[in-house]
Amino acid sequence: MRRRDRGYRVVTRLLAFVLWPAAALVAPRRGRHLACQWALAVRFPAEDLTGLSPGTQAAFAAARATALWRDGVLLGLTSGHRDAGEQERLFAAEVRRAGSAVAARRRTLPPGESWHVRGRAVDVRPREGARWLEVHGGQHRLYRVYDNEWWHFEHHPEGRPPRLPHPGSCLADAEQ
């Protein structure tokens, strides 16, 4: 871990501790959770959880508060909900880059298949946060679903989905 990253981690956790008394006044039973959300909002000011399903938003907020409070690990959001138009643009750009729709599906999916469009997928950072979420995410029903994307997690309240090699693979591909 780089010195700068360690510094962000320490300062964000310290800020959560400092904010805890005020957060406890605002939300007596959820003071630690709220203090973590406030501290993380300072650390990651450009994050936007808008558009995530209520369950996904709650699961991600709980996971990141637990990561920070219990283990001192930062868990940031790189990308959450995407509207169908944005997902289509990402897919079209990947088709141009990769040369075909089949090749593009190894890295991104069209809007009708993307869990980002459904508001049930989050791309996280930094790597340390993703490692934490891979180990502890099941407690919050957040699971890494693709071998080739360390940053991509999906909210599955029904339980752990099968792990796939990449976004364009299907269960039949994974079982071979």
77 is a domain residue: yes
Residue 4 confidence (pLDDT): 83
Q: What value does the mean pLDDT take over residues 64-74?
A: 96
CA–CA separation, 67 vs 74, rounded Å? 7
Q: Is residue 109 part of a domain?
A: no
Question: 159 near 149, Cβ under 8 Å?
Answer: no
Q: How high is the pLDDT of residue 15? A: 96
Q: What is the pLDDT of residues 123-172, one digit of tens each?
A: 999 999 999 999 999 999 999 999 999 999 999 999 999 999 999 987 44
- Asked if 120 and 153 count as a contact pair (C-beta separation under 8 A), the reply is no
Burial pattern 102-119, b for ≥16 Cβ within 10 A else e, equals: eebbbbbbbbeebbbbbb
pLDDT band at 175 (very low <50, low <70, confident <90, very high): very low
Distance from C-alpha of 117 to C-alpha of 51, rounded to nearest angstrom:
9
Residue 1 — pLDDT band, cuts 50, 70, 90? low
176 pLDDT above the threshold of 60: no
Domain count, the chain: 1
Q: Which domain holds residue 169?
A: 3-81+119-175
The answer to whether position 91 is within a domain reads no
Query: How confident is the prediction for the chain on average, in pLDDT?
Result: 94
pTM (2 d.p.): 0.92
Domain annotation covers residue 86: no
Task: Give CA–CA dist 156/28, Å, rounded.
Answer: 29
Residue 135, burial from CB neighbour count under 10 angstroms (0-12, 13-18, 19+): exposed
Residue 103: inside a domain: no
**What is the amino acid identity at position 44?**
F
CA–CA distance, 83 with 106 (Å, rounded to integer): 20
